Amino acid sequence: MPPFKNPLPTVDCIIELPGDRIVLIRRKNPPPGWALPGGFVNEGERLDQAAVREVKEETGLDVELVEQFFTYSDPRRDPRKHTLSTVFIGRAQGEPQGADDAAEAKTFPVDALPQELAFDHGTILADYLTYKRTGQRRKL
């Protein structure tokens, strides 16, 4: 019998900063591009704890999570393997500094996001902008 394979749980965080800006990281490792801060959930770690930890590791920011936004599960969302990402919306103060597996961390106005986004983060950010504009969440 072949071994049972499960998708891996991950988290991502849309970090809102004053002035309608959000934080993105430029990935140090493949796949390339700009991405939301996030990563894999450690065994024994809650999703919210993983999001706060990943933000701190990749940006140096202390984030306050304000809501759980949506869980993205398309098997094609990560070219390396099937992952499930629970996305949080959080708030922080200060300027991010890229660290850990982030080559760079930078703030972007929500109306001037880079086009070279990794994973399905373009979809996530489009859903977020729709939600902020209309209050409507992604439909299942």
Structural domains of the chain in order of their starting residue, each with its CATH number:
8-134 (3.90.79.10)
**Of 119, 91, 112, nearest in space to 32 by CA:** 119
Contact present, 92 and 98 (Cβ < 8 Å) = no
Interatomic CA distance for residues 118 and 5, integer angstroms: 24
Helix, coil or strand: residue 19: coil
Q: Is residue 64 among the annotated active site residues?
A: no
Q: Contact 86/6 with Cβ under 8 angstroms? A: no
Of residues 16, 67, 95, 104, which has the active-site annotation? 104
pLDDT tens-place string over residues 22-74: 999 999 999 999 999 999 999 999 999 999 999 999 999 999 999 999 999 99
Is residue 138 scored above 90 in pLDDT?
A: no
Which pLDDT belongs to residue 54? 98
Its pTM stands at 0.95
Matching residue, tokens 């706060």? 52
